[in-house]
């Protein structure tokens, strides 16, 4: 992946108005992706574009639109809508391509471009590399004749369609009547759709993070700052709290006491509930190498597997599709419910949690601890040059750490995809041993880097 010029692990992302997140790069994406996804037949081709609430969306969107329209592709823009909504609408409207303009949980100064194929799934690495190669071609190449330029329209009802799809995923026999729900929309893409969906299903909704101004997305709110949600739950005496991130593909839950529930506990809760109903497919759940050992153990106790992938929701999705799984996700709150969505969807996942809660009649605090997490410690070690993971001293320290944790835990050492950082993570039943192993491996990395 090191040879990529524009695309990272999740589309193109960077600080707005600096490379690669400039209007010119967005224009080039539109030109290249438009040409690639226009087949040779004579029909009109369509791309749909959604965004979150960042100020820079006003710069990126018109540049993308210009690129697509100039190669002859029709464009439909949705305005603010969650990432999973764009994936759904790409399929629903039979578009050839879907685009989401968002930097997810990053602060407002960043932005990003994510692409979805006609099937609603994120593009493969190979397709992204093909687009990347085409992006450096001259700007006047492959343009449509004047009469074949794309037409552009704003579609105002896209968020309403997403709300209806979300509501349909909640069991018909249940209602949120009598529940008070605090929801933090991170001043992001779900600021209207999430509170509306919960209200229409019967809940009393106390919404925070629903006043976007272009620069306050994820600012001290949303799934990356759950203390804001915890405070709202206590203030409104809510039965449960739901925090989404800027593009609403992540979910963090908070119980009625203000205690945070991470993605691992949510996966256990939904997975075990679905398994009891015979709804879980694939014989288990897909998660990443970062998920807690406790999740693996609680699933194993029910004869269910935990399949692990490298970090990134696209890799979780690939394994889910390959193995016929319908539930997967990340500890950070990216939860993929394949029966309903082709990418992580915070609102859909929240509705499944609410269904379990309503049906059981138990408070969230009782449901929230599906397992006792095994002590887990993550340390980020900065390095300046070279490849410290290839040093013999680092390899020896990792082998030694694995031997010490043998059978009671695990060690994971991996480079960050976006910064000069080595992430050292260990977990195990013996907390002191976990701390010692992380310290020893980190020291070896530091000495080598």
Is the sign of the CA dihedral 236, 238, 243, 248 positive or negative? negative
Catalytic entry in 56, 70, 102, 104:
104
Instruction: Say if CB 422 and CB 379 are below 8 A apart.
Output: no
Count Cα atoms within 13 angstroms, Cβ side, for 95. 28
Q: Is 219 left (phi over 0), alpha (psi -120 to 50) or beta?
A: beta
Give yes or no for a contact between 320 and 254, defined as CB atoms under 8 angstroms apart: no
Q: How far apart are CA 270 and CA 263, in angstroms?
A: 10
Please say whether the dihedral angle defined by the alpha carbons of residues 120, 124, 130 and 132, taken in this order, is positive or negative: positive
Q: Rounded to an integer, what distance in angstroms lies between the CA atom of residue 207 and that of residue 192?
A: 10
Edge-to-edge strand order for the sheet containing 421-428? Answer: 376-382, 421-428, 409-415
Kindly state the tokens that stand for 283.
């014989």
Please indicate whether residue 416 is annotated as part of the active site. Answer: no
Q: Per residue in 337-352, is it b (16+ CB within 10 Å) or e — as a string?
A: bbebbbbbbbbbbbbb
Q: Which residues contact 22 (CB under 8 A, 6 or more apart)?
A: none
Q: What is the DSSP letter of 143?
A: P
With contact defined as beta carbons under 8 Å apart, do 32 and 135 qualify? yes
Phi, psi of 3 (to 5 degrees): -90, 10
Helices (H), 71-187: 83-92, 125-135, 158-168
Which backbone phi and psi does 29 adopt, to 5 degrees? -60, -45
- Residue 116 pairs in a beta bridge with 98, 122
DSSP string for residues in 50-99: EE-S-TTHHHHHHHHHHHHHHTTEEEEEEEE--HHHHHHHHHHTT-SEEE
Active-site positions read: 104
């Amino acid at each position: 992946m090191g040879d990529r010029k524009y695309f990272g692990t999740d589309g193109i992302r960077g600080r707005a108005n600096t490379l690669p997140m400039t209007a010119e790069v967005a224009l080039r994406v539109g030109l290249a992706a438009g040409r690639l996804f226009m087949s040779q037949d004579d029909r009109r081709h369509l791309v749909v574009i959604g965004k979150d609430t960042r100020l820079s969306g006003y710069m990126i969107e018109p540049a993308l639109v210009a690129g697509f329209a100039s190669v002859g592709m029709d464009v439909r823009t949705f305005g603010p809508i969650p990432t999973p909504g764009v994936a759904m609408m790409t399929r629903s409207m039979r578009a050839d391509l879907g685009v989401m303009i968002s930097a997810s949980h990053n602060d407002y100064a960043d932005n990003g471009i994510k692409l979805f194929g006609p099937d609603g799934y994120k593009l493969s690495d190979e397709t992204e590399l093909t687009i990347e190669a085409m992006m450096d071609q001259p700007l006047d190449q492959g343009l449509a004749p004047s009469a074949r330029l794309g037409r552009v329209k704003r579609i105002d009802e896209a968020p309403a369609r997403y709300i209806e799809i979300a509501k349909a995923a909640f069991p018909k026999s249940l209602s949120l009547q009598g529940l008070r729900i605090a929801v933090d929309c991170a001043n992001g893409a779900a600021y209207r759709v999430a509170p509306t969906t919960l209200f229409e299903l019967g809940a009393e909704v106390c919404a925070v993070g629903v006043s976007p101004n272009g620069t306050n997305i994820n600012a001290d709110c949303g799934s990356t700052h759950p203390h804001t949600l915890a405070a709202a739950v206590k203030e409104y005496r809510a039965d449960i709290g739901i925090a989404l991130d800027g593009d609403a593909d992540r979910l963090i839950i908070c119980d009625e006491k203000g205690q945070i529930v991470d993605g691992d506990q949510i996966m256990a809760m939904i997975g075990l509930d679905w398994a009891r109903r015979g709804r879980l497919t694939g014989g288990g759940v897909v998660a990443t190498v970062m998920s807690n050992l406790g999740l693996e153990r609680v699933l194993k106790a029910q004869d269910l597997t935990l399949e692990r992938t490298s970090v990134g929701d696209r890799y979780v999705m690939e394994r889910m599709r390959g193995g016929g799984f319908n539930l997967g996700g990340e500890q950070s709150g990216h939860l993929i419910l394949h029966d309903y969505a082709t990418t992580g969807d915070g609102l859909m996942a929240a509705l499944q949690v609410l269904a379990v809660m309503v049906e059981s009649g138990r408070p969230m605090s009782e449901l929230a601890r599906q397992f006792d997490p095994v002590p887990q410690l993550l340390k980020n070690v900065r390095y300046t040059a070279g490849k410290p993971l290839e040093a013999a001293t680092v390899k020896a320290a990792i082998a030694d750490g694995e031997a010490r944790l043998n059978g009671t835990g695990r060690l994971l050492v991996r480079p960050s995809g976006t910064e000069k950082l080595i992430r050292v993570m260990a977990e195990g039943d013996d907390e002191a041993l976990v701390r010692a192993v992380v310290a020893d491996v980190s020291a070896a990395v530091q000495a080598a880097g």
